[in-house]
Amino acid sequence: MLPMPSCCPLFARAMRFAWFKTPGIAVAAVVFAWPPAAFAQNATADAQTAIPASPAAASTVAVATNAAGAVSPASGTSASPVVPVPPSELYGVLYRDVELAHLYPDSKTFADMVPNLPPASVVAAYAQQKAQPGFDLKRFVAAHFTLPGRETKHYVSDPNQSVTAHIDTLWDVLRRDPDKTASPWSSLLPLPYSYIVPGDRFDEIYYWDSFFIMLGLEQSGREDLLDDELNNFATLIDRYGHIPNGNRTYYLSRSQPPFFAQMVQLAARREGDRVYLHYLPELRKEYDYWMDGANRVAPGSAYRHVVRLRDGTLMNRYWDARDTPRDESYREDAETAQQLPQRQPADVWRNLRAAGETGWDFSSRWFADGRTLGSIDVTSLVPVDLNCLVTDLERTLAKAYRLKGDAAQGERFEQRAAQRAAAIRSVLWDAQLNAFGDYDFTAHRLTHRLSAATVYPLYFGIANKAEANAVAATVRAKLLRAGGLATTTVQTGQQWDEPNGWAPLQYLAVLGLRRYGHAALAGQIATRWIETNVAYYQRTGKLVEKYDVDAKAGSTAAGGGEYPLQDGFGWTNGVLRTLLAMYPQAAGNSTRPADVPEGPSGVSAAASAAAAAPQTTHRLHETPQAEPGK
């Protein structure tokens, strides 16, 4: 849980909402919210926050008063100079007005801007000027905010580089130096060590992406960057009590799939067991964050990330401490809620935010009707991937405590891991699908929606042999595609659905299947994924966030989601580099764009042109995107 700084009295304020109207859209502008515990007071099984009956007249100006330079969220030795409050709360009405005016194509743009004056002064100026004749909102923003310049590497793909050499080169292109943030009002949470960003619009560190990036760093011999990544995450845990979705203030209210234990294991395989002891304090804090409230949640109810089933079984769910539009997707979330008059906006926004914590934003996996975003219901589900990750965290803690000489704690965590693994096998095994799935604890039933998350119990060695064999058969029959492993079997236009495939799921499937003796199927998935990645690289000079695995290798760009297809791309690079080391023959004789026979427009020329073009511009046909709320 994020600690409440005692040095600034404004952080003791309870959460209040001010409701405002914009043509056709009602949006809650959060006046202030701290500490996060205030969000959790009514976190029950349905996880709803009541909407105020009447508008509040409180001003947002007081949010910024006396906070400059005074607030530090640190509980350890690496304090951050940034005030841990998201822009939507710092600027209130102004933030809402800018986002809903659609001044920027990407809602994230304004979220990442830095004010030229303290927020109190900016908010006061806006209140004074906005009603004046001829007021221009875009000019006001330009005068009062600055978009920090990105670190420019001026990189252009070399058609004569193999895909492996391309990846090795990209690590330095995607590397960001330690942050030296001067403004306490920046949304960027500064990190003390160098780090790798995914790429394109994602110019900050992301939690679960980073594990798969670290796999590639290891293969590329970049142990320096691998250690920096791990130390940055330990710093975030020490500062905030958990690893946020990314190092932005607007990501602090949630985390992402907890791969920190896997990161520690990765480092320990190279450096020895001392790594477990070194990171034991952070491993325990990570666990305490995900298990907050476990000692007081009643059977049949939930509190934050913890769910206790009616029989007393303790499991976890995805959650977000806030129930307002996401800062980075504010307009999209406001429009989604507007299209759903039958649902309370706070309920919609909580679940959209919780989907961000899953990393699968968005997918039919989270849709109550299996098809539409308007039915999103993440917080009612006990997801198989999260509970496998927490099992692994418990096992890692058991090992760390034993290495420390604390046998009692080691045994305690081993028992917890065994109990959770048994619950995964009993509660989350779906005999109808012949696969593992997710459980709706409010409806007391499985969702019966097949997804590639079924491979998690294999990757973590939780499935028994019969279950693993059944999962392998299901994967082969229903999820294996020409280009790799499909994410689901449903086409909704959302990016974590058919026809898209994602690097992390390929890696987890390959390792999980190999673990249970299904080497041939694992090899098929790996080879098809490698071929898809390499063909796309040879056609465009790029490695991207996701791929259309239904299409002929590399012939169609993936689509869906809230933003264009992203280039870079961190976890794609990491997984491809790792799988190429495991299956070196899968890529064929050459992976250089220059070695591909000339096509209609010339492949080598196309590769250079794509690399030099704006990063979100792609020459290949894109799969149609989903409309908001559809």
Q: Which two tokens stand for residue 588?
A: 């064929």
Q: What is the pLDDT of residue 580?
A: 98
Write the DSSP assignment of 539-554 as a string of letters.
Answer: HHS--BS-EESSSSTT
Q: Which two tokens stand for residue 43?
A: 């976190």
Q: Which two tokens stand for residue 273?
A: 């067991």
Mean pLDDT of the 614-627 span: 33
Write the DSSP assignment of 237-264 as a string of letters.
Answer: HHHHSS--SBSBGGGTT---S--HHHHH
Q: Which two tokens stand for residue 504?
A: 């992390």
Alpha-carbon distance values, 251 to 3, 115, 405 (Å): 16, 19, 36
**d(C-alpha 193, C-alpha 173), whole Å:** 16
Is residue 10 predicted with pLDDT exceeding 50? no
Which percentage of the chain shows pLDDT scores above 70?
Answer: 79
Q: What is the pLDDT of residue 180?
A: 80
Q: What is the pLDDT of residue 153?
A: 64
Lowest average pLDDT, out of 68-72, 94-98, 434-438, 519-523, goes to 68-72
What pTM was computed for the model? 0.86
User: How confident is residue 152, by pLDDT bands cut at 50, 70 and 90?
Assistant: low
User: How confident is residue 69, by pLDDT bands cut at 50, 70 and 90?
Assistant: very low
Per-residue model confidence as pLDDT tens digits over 557-603: 665 555 455 467 899 999 999 999 999 999 999 999 988 875 333 33
Tell me which DSSP letter residue 428 carries: S
Lowest average pLDDT, out of 209-213, 371-375, 426-430, 608-612, goes to 608-612
| Mean pLDDT, all residues of the chain | 84
Per-residue model confidence as pLDDT tens digits over 379-418: 999 999 999 999 999 999 999 999 999 999 999 999 999 9
Which percentage of the chain shows pLDDT scores above 90?
Answer: 74
**d(C-alpha 421, C-alpha 392), whole Å:** 9
Mean pLDDT of the 167-184 span: 89
Is 545 assigned a catalytic role?
yes
Q: Annotated catalytic residue: which of 209, 320, 327, 545?
A: 545
**d(C-alpha 389, C-alpha 412), whole Å:** 18
Query: How many Cα neighbours within 13 Å face the side chain of 14?
Result: 3
Q: Which residues pair with 146 in a beta bridge?
A: 114
More confident residue, 206 or 77: 206
Mean pLDDT of the 236-241 span: 97
Alpha-carbon distance values, 292 to 138, 243, 303, 496 (Å): 43, 14, 8, 29
Is residue 7 predicted with pLDDT exceeding 50? no
As a whole number of Å, the CA-based R_g of the chain is 24
**d(C-alpha 623, C-alpha 406), whole Å:** 54
**d(C-alpha 390, C-alpha 273), whole Å:** 20
Is residue 544 predicted with pLDDT exceeding 70? yes
> Domain map of the chain by residue range?
9-103+114-147+319-375, 450-630
Q: Where are the alpha helices (DSSP H) in 475-555?
A: 503-515, 519-540
Among 164, 157, 106, smallest CA distance to 613 is for 157
Residue 153: other Cβ atoms inside 10 A: 11
Mean pLDDT of the 291-310 span: 98
Residue 136: other Cβ atoms inside 10 A: 10
Residue 405: other Cβ atoms inside 10 A: 9
Is 361 assigned a catalytic role?
yes
More confident residue, 312 or 630: 312
Mean pLDDT of the 357-362 span: 98
Q: Which two tokens stand for residue 332?
A: 């999209």
Is residue 253 predicted with pLDDT exceeding 80? yes
**d(C-alpha 440, C-alpha 442), whole Å:** 6
Q: Annotated catalytic residue: which of 89, 168, 218, 361?
A: 361
Exposure pattern of 236-256 as b/e (b: 16+ CB <10 Å)? bbbbbbbbbbbbbbbbbbbbb
User: How confident is residue 198, by pLDDT bands cut at 50, 70 and 90?
Assistant: confident
Q: What is the pLDDT of residue 28?
A: 39
Cβ-based burial of 339 (10 A; exposed 0-12, middle 13-18, buried ≥19): middle
**d(C-alpha 177, C-alpha 156), whole Å:** 20
Among 242, 207, 216, smallest CA distance to 75 is for 242
Q: Answer for the pair 191, 205: CB distance below 8 angstroms, yes or no.
A: yes
End-to-end CA distance of the chain: 35
Per-residue model confidence as pLDDT tens digits over 450-506: 999 999 999 999 999 999 999 999 999 999 999 999 999 999 999 999 999 999 999
Among 232, 217, 220, smallest CA distance to 266 is for 217
**d(C-alpha 360, C-alpha 354), whole Å:** 10
Provide φ and ψ at 202, rounded to 5°. Answer: -95, 80
Mean pLDDT of the 516-526 span: 98
Per-residue model confidence as pLDDT tens digits over 24-68: 344 433 333 333 333 333 333 333 332 222 222 233 333 333 222
Q: Which residues pair with 436 in a beta bridge?
A: 429
The amino acid sitting at 13 is: R
SS3 130: coil
Residues found in the chain = 630
SS3 302: strand
Q: Answer for the pair 436, 426: CB distance below 8 angstroms, yes or no.
A: no
Among 254, 323, 252, 327, smallest CA distance to 90 is for 327
Cβ-based burial of 389 (10 A; exposed 0-12, middle 13-18, buried ≥19): buried
**d(C-alpha 141, C-alpha 463), whole Å:** 54
SS3 560: coil
Is residue 345 predicted with pLDDT exceeding 50? yes
SS3 279: coil
**d(C-alpha 277, C-alpha 31), whole Å:** 42
Angle at 203 between CA 202 and CA 209, to 5 degrees: 55
Q: What is the pLDDT of residue 81?
A: 87
